[in-house]
Structure 1
């Protein structure tokens, strides 16, 4: 795999606790982040707390609540073993075994596995596009300007291609930019324009990337096509929300009408 930054997100340097001699701001931020992500999936757990890199009384209480919720000894300290429990969704998204009869099936199954583990961005220091999922998709980058839809799509393509011993960068450069991939598609004649796709939907295939146009040479959102039904495509896409935003906060399974929106399609066929 080309995109392996996620492995750093699975580790803390030492046990973290209130007034701990080995406390580390970045590790405390990781713990606080995962306590919040855990709370999203377990609203009654009482683990949501601020993310500021300070292991104060609020973080200690959130840790105690996490330990109580999971029937663990209530020490108020998080070591690597308990951090493994907190960050397990990320590990499963990147490392669960995936099968498929061909690259297109692998792409879909990898995307579904990420979706199942509920990637979600966080707000930290008053900035969106933050947290362990965003950094994993963007190779350590995060922050207000770091839209992560292409990072997610390329992560899926990278994982799927790597299972077959292929390098997705033979198809497109590693990038976080929809414009770069769209331009590459035009240069390599792999981009089906929306006008042609509307006329001949058979050109759209599961596993391809969709690119939403702003102008003919400017695209602002992407994701994985999972199915085509009449006038609509099903997708799995990152950095979106229920409204289909290109700067949302989650990975979602969405339905988009490609007859009403200018959507181009990048074919992964040369890699298949």
Structure 2
């Protein structure tokens, strides 16, 4: 893979524990982040805690609660084994084998694998669009201004293409910008515009990228198309929510009506 930030999000350099002089603030914040992400899918576990880079009694208690939930000894100490359990969802998303007979199927199945592991953003020090998943998709960038929908799309395509020994950057530049991908699609003749998609939806295939159009040359959200049926696209999108926001909080499977929404489609066919 080209995008390898996930490796840093799934490892700590040394054991971290309450009051230790050898604690590393970045490592502690990473632990606190994963404790909060566990709380997103397990709200009764008691692992939600402040993300302040300090391993105090609150973090220790949250760690013990996590250990209890996972059937581990309740030491309150985070060694490599405990941290591996904390970040297991990301390891599953990025490292578990993905089946598929071609790039399009691999893209869809890779997106489904990420979706199954509940990628979610956190608010850290008042900044949304933050946390391990965002940094993994955005190459260590995070914060309110870092919308991460394109980072998600390119990470999925990168992961799928790498299984076939392909470099997604031959299709489009590494970017976090919908506009950059849209203009690249225009220049390469790979972008089907709204009217064309509505008139001939059969040109759209699973694994292609939709871009939500603000104006003909300005796009503000993106995601992956997993299926086409009737007037609808099934999609998997990052940085959205149940309302289809362009600045939501996680990865969701959605349905979008391309007859009523302004959706351009970028074809990945040259990479296939």
Q: What's the TM-score, normalizing by structure 1?
A: 0.99
The residue matched to 2:44 in structure 1 has which SS?
Answer: helix
Asked whether 1:266 is paired with 2:269, we answer no
Following the alignment from structure 2 to structure 1, what is the Cα–Cα distance between the partners of residues 163 and 39?
33
Corresponding position of 2:18: 18
The residue matched to 1:44 in structure 2 has which SS?
Answer: coil
Q: Describe the superposition over 1:159-192 as per-residue Cα deviations: whole angstroms up to 9, x where unpaired.
A: 1111110100000000000000000000000000
Corresponding position of 2:97: 97
1:57 positional shift: 1.2
Q: Which moved more, 1:207-216 or 1:72-81?
A: 72-81
Q: Which moved more, 1:70-79 or 1:143-152?
A: 70-79
Corresponding position of 1:29: 29
Corresponding position of 2:44: 44
Corresponding position of 1:136: 136
1:40 positional shift: 1.4
Corresponding position of 2:108: 108
Q: What's the TM-score, normalizing by structure 2?
A: 0.99
Q: What pairs up with 1:136-175 in 2 under 5 angstroms?
A: 136-175=136-175
1:72 positional shift: 1.5
Corresponding position of 1:242: 242
Corresponding position of 2:3: 3
- Paired residues in the alignment total 272
Q: What pairs up with 1:70-85 in 2 under 5 angstroms?
A: 70-85=70-85
Corresponding position of 1:228: 228
Structure 1 spans left out of the alignment, 5+ residues: none
Following the alignment from structure 1 to structure 2, what is the Cα–Cα distance between the partners of residues 72 and 113?
26
1:111 positional shift: 0.4
The residue matched to 1:265 in structure 2 has which SS?
Answer: strand
1:11 positional shift: 1.1
Following the alignment from structure 2 to structure 1, what is the Cα–Cα distance between the partners of residues 71 and 203?
52
Corresponding position of 1:202: 202
Q: Which moved more, 1:40-49 or 1:239-248?
A: 40-49
Structure 2 spans left out of the alignment, 5+ residues: none
Cα RMSD between the aligned structures?
A: 0.7
Following the alignment from structure 1 to structure 2, what is the Cα–Cα distance between the partners of residues 252 and 209?
15
